[in-house]
Amino acid sequence: MNIKIIILLAVIIILLLNYKRILSYIKYIKEQKAIEFKKRTNLNLDDLYKLSAPSTFLLFGFENNIFQKPVLYFDENNLYCITSNLPVVQHPLSSITEVQRTAVMINKRRVWKIIIKDNNIQKAYKFRVYRNLDLFLEKVKENPNSIVDDRYIWGIFE
């Protein structure tokens, strides 16, 4: 037998025998991330929906320190803009005036633009689509003064 196959089988057997430890370690890491998130932002991660997609890992995680892009979360009433080492910016969903689809796609994910008008100051955030966009669009559509693009063009294309 080839030595590569034997090593591969040994690694698979070791992983199968330790899968409970691996799962408990993954659970521990998630709990630690939630605790660190709560300390940093004073928000409960379990109550929020993530709106913006994670970074593309071009520089193996170093891009988070170089290009500090905000991460967008939302709940029933608010949109949260969280940038590392900066205070959390909170906008009520009722202050969102427009959510529009842009023509840009990055890694097969559409870039969207949110326009917020708070105290006569207009802010715009751009983000790549993540899992919870449909729920977010429904929440924003509850405001009759907001303009919201449909997610799909003709019900087919994003």
What the block records as the tokens of 49 is 């929906």
Question: How high is the pLDDT of residue 61?
Answer: 59
Quote the longest CA-to-CA distance of the chain: 73
How do the domains of the chain map onto residue ranges?
3-41, 48-148
Question: How high is the pLDDT of residue 5?
Answer: 92
Topology of domain 48-148, CATH: PH-domain like (2.30.29)
% of the chain at pLDDT higher than 90: 37
Question: How high is the pLDDT of residue 62?
Answer: 62
pLDDT in tens, 122-154: 999 998 888 888 899 999 999 888 888 877 776
Q: How confident is the model at residue 109 (pLDDT cuts 50, 70, 90)?
A: confident
Please give the average per-residue pLDDT across 29-54, as a whole number: 86
Alpha carbon separation from 4 to 7, 10, 13, 14, 15 (Å, rounded): 5, 10, 14, 15, 17
pLDDT in tens, 45-83: 888 898 887 766 655 556 656 667 788 999 999 999 988
What the block records as the tokens of 30 is 């998630």
State pTM to two decimals.
0.75
Q: What's the mean pLDDT when you consider all of the chain?
A: 85
| Helix, strand or coil, per DSSP, at residue 126 | strand
Strand-strand pairing, 89-92 and 96-106: unpaired
**Which range, of 13-27, 52-66, 84-98, averages the lowest pLDDT?**
52-66
Q: Which residue has the higher pLDDT, 87 or 115?
A: 115
